[in-house]
């Protein structure tokens, strides 16, 4: 089942209508979110700096038996 279009539409609506909650993190910190939390990466704030190696973001999404349907339907 391809959910790309409906997901993109829902994401746009949520980002336009829900209050934004910023979760700033220092280098080396991690943030753990519920798998159904809609999230994004904000543009850098004015004056923000980074290590010469740059800025990296990694997402960990474990595979689940049953695929995407199990992921969406599990508690």
The tens digit of pLDDT for each residue in 38-63 reads 888 888 889 888 888 877 778 777 77
Q: What is the pLDDT of residue 75?
A: 67
Stretch 12-23: mean pLDDT? 91
pLDDT at 18 exceeding the cut of 70: yes
pTM here?
0.53
Burial of 71 (C-beta count, 10 Å sphere; 0-12/13-18/19+) = middle
In order of 1, 37, 39, 48, 69, the CA distances from 59 in angstroms are 22, 13, 11, 22, 20
Stretch 25-44: mean pLDDT? 83
Stretch 1-11: mean pLDDT? 89
């Amino acid at each position: 089942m391809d959910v790309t279009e409906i997901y993109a539409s829902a994401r746009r609506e949520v980002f336009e209508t829900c209050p934004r909650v910023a979760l700033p993190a220092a280098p080396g910190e991690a943030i753990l979110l519920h798998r159904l939390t809609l999230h994004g990466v904000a543009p850098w704030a004015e004056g923000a700096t980074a290590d010469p190696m740059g800025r990296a973001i990694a997402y960990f999404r474990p595979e689940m038996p049953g695929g995407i349907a199990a992921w969406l339907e599990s508690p």
